[in-house]
Amino acid sequence: MSSELIITHEVSAVPRRRDDAHKGDVGRLVVIGGSFGEVTMAGAPALVASAAFRSGIGLVQIFAPQAIHTALAALCPSATFRTLACDALGILQGAAEFGADVLALGPGLRQTLTPATIVELLAGFEGPIVVDADGLNLLSAAPRVDIPNPHRVVLTPHPGEAKRLLAARQVDRGIDSTGPSRRAAACALVDAYGCTVVLKGRGTIVTNGQRLYINETGNSGLASAGTGDVLTGVIAALIGQKLEPLEAAILGVYLHGLAGDYAAEELGRWSMTALDVIDYLPEAFCEHEASQTE
């Protein structure tokens, strides 16, 4: 596959919206995540939702355990909330009632859903899905099945998650920090799953097996808990505004890294957090929009 790849440097423009647009016109995102128990995770889905709002999405509903709804409402008051069903059918019915254009699957989910349920969601939701964090870990533990129309699904692993996903498909491939190793791993993931892949890390790689993009924005300050959730929210929001998954992934990675660069410039790489990346997304969007009009 790698010999057929087109290396691209092109980053899409920021999605346009009509002057008379309302919130229902610019995307509806369902975030499926969060967990409650000995380890509780409410911040991850809230970061996804907050980043999505900063990236132009109109509506977000978070499907999460009832016990963390109060925390989620405090963290992201612009979102609405639905109790997370334990079966795929219940989740899909909820997404249909909300009119979801795109799903973000996995942030903070832990073992709230089963691997089989993750597979059923990937097959049962016909629209685009961004899979991150525990969604990836559960997918790697699931029975092997083919994902329908796989390029609509965006997998966003870091190298450790990528290794687990490849091992689940009997692909034994080491991933080191060098460019050739990372490119080969990203292409191997596309071969194994058919999905659009975002292999995170220095020089994040985005590929769908036909085109490959290597990102040049970002810095080591992004090595902080929650920044991956922010990236998921940005990509999902761009898909919700009608960008194709590959284009949304490329633009999302670029803007996420650029926001991180602005945050590091102001705060330093040691002190920036995921919340700071969200705060600098408007500056990144404005700079990119201005560069497209020059």
Strand-strand pairing, 6-7 and 153-155: unpaired
Half-sphere exposure of 237 (CA within 13 A, CB side): 31
For residue 2, is pLDDT > 70?
Answer: no
H/E stretch holding 15 reads none
What domains are defined for the chain? 25-293 (3.40.1190.20)
DSSP E strand stretches across 134-203: 153-155, 196-199
78-99: burial string, b at 16+ Cβ within 10 Å, e else: ebebbebbeebeebbebbeebe
Mean pLDDT within 276-294: 93
Q: 3 pLDDT band (50/70/90 cuts)?
A: low
Taking only the tens place, the pLDDT of each residue in 101-145 is 999 999 999 999 999 999 999 999 999 999 999 999 999 999 888
> Which pLDDT tens digit goes with each residue over 185-244?
999 999 999 999 999 999 999 999 999 999 999 999 999 999 999 999 999 999 999 999
Average pLDDT, the chain: 96
pLDDT score for 173? 85
pLDDT in tens, 146-188: 999 999 999 999 999 999 999 999 998 889 999 999 999 999 9
| pTM (predicted TM-score) | 0.97
Mean pLDDT of 269-293: 96
In this prediction, residues 13-23 reach a mean pLDDT of 93
Distances in Å between the Cα of 289 and the Cα atoms of 13, 69, 129, 167, 255 are 7, 35, 26, 40, 11
What's residue 292's pLDDT? 82
Instruction: Render pLDDT for 240-261 as a digit per residue (tens, 0 to 9).
Output: 999 999 999 999 999 999 999 9
Q: In what order do the strands lie in the sheet with 129-131?
A: 6-7, 211-214, 205-207, 196-199, 153-155, 129-131, 102-105, 28-32, 59-64, 80-83
C-beta atoms surrounding 273 within 10 Å: 16
Residue 63's pLDDT band (cuts 50, 70, 90): very high
Coil, strand or helix at 45: helix
**The residue type at 125:** F
CA of residue 240 relative to chain centroid, distance: 12
Burial 224-253 (b: 16+ CB within 10 A, else e): bebbbbbbbbbbbbbbbbebbbbbbbbbbb
